[in-house]
Structure 1
Amino acid sequence: MIHNIQAIQVEALWFPLVKKFYQAYYPSGKPNKADPIWVLKDGAAIIASVRLKPLTSCQLLTALVTHPDFRQQGYASHLMSDLRPQLNQPTYCFNTPDLQHFYERHGFTPIEAEELPCELASRLKRYRVKQPSLIAMAYLP
């Protein structure tokens, strides 16, 4: 049941499980042991995961993915709600237009590439080579 599941930060011991989760359901997510990763788990099974990549003056919320068996059931929203205390500094994300409303419901607003910190503006430019429709969004506490 979704109400009994809490988001938890991944400990180093769990990293191999998270890596397998991303390989299976979001291969481009490429988790990094150095980045804080948050998950919703049901026992040993990961239901949803997201990374918060720390940068110089902000953080990048990236690689939000839900196990296919649990999609469209509110788990990603639950994870984002539980993650809110971790969004205590400017937080940015890049996503496709079809996800804009999801992130807006969680306090993110669309921004222009020129409004991004330099380290993220160059990253967005690289990402847009393969995905030209990517939009930048910001959560500013």
Structure 2
Amino acid sequence: MSVKEYQPDHNRQPEPTNWRVEAVPSSHFPLIQRFYQAHYKSARVKSHDLVWQLLLNNQRVAVMRLLPIGSDWLLSGLVVDSAMRRKGLAAHLLNQALTQYSSDCYLFCDASLTPLYRKSGFTGVNPDSLPTELRGRFHTYRRAQTSLVAMFRPTP
């Protein structure tokens, strides 16, 4: 069964029973890259990424990547189809995917997105207290995006 890009019905709120969260095999990464190109052009899938998707009625509506950094994870590239935003899909994808791992998870996001991530158990963290592998990366990214903040979700 193939996965199609979502064609929204703007008059309906998605029912949670129609949602499915699953890991994406690397053989499907070109489809994920196409989703990113349609909804967030700067995101890129790399061969070592762990990619998760949320399907609604067997159609891809949200994607996220987890990058292994030392013994932790860096959440990157959480993107929801623009027609499906503000419906709880990002939080559902995050919570379902992150329960599969027993390591801490970090992310870097624009300050305006912190309420979204707080709903999924992330808290703000001082960039200077980030693990060494993440600290340099954060400061590099922050040069280009001054409103960037670091967040952390401990192992459940």
Report the TM-score range of the alignment, normalised by the length of the smaller protein. over 0.9
Q: 2:117 aligns with which of 87, 103, 128?
A: 103
Q: Measure how far apart 1:25 and its partner are.
A: 1.0
1:83 and 2:97 aligned: yes
Work out whether residues 110 and 147 of structure 2, in 8 Å CA contact, stay in contact via their aligned partners in 1. Answer: yes
Match of 2:141 in 1: 127
| Residue identity in the other structure for 2:28 | W
Matches of 1:123 and 1:138, distance apart in 2: 15
Superposed CA RMSD in Å reads 1.4
Q: Name the TM-score, length of structure 2 as normaliser.
A: 0.84
CA displacement 1:50-84 (0-9 Å, x = unmatched): 00101112110111000111111111111112123
Larger radius of gyration: 2
1:47 and 2:47 aligned: no
Q: Secondary structure at the match of 1:31?
A: coil
Work out whether residues 109 and 138 of structure 1, in 8 Å CA contact, stay in contact via their aligned partners in 2. Answer: yes
Matches of 1:57 and 1:14, distance apart in 2: 26
Match of 2:43 in 1: 29
Distance 1:2 1:78, change over 3 A: farther
Match of 1:58 in 2: 72
Matched positions, count: 141
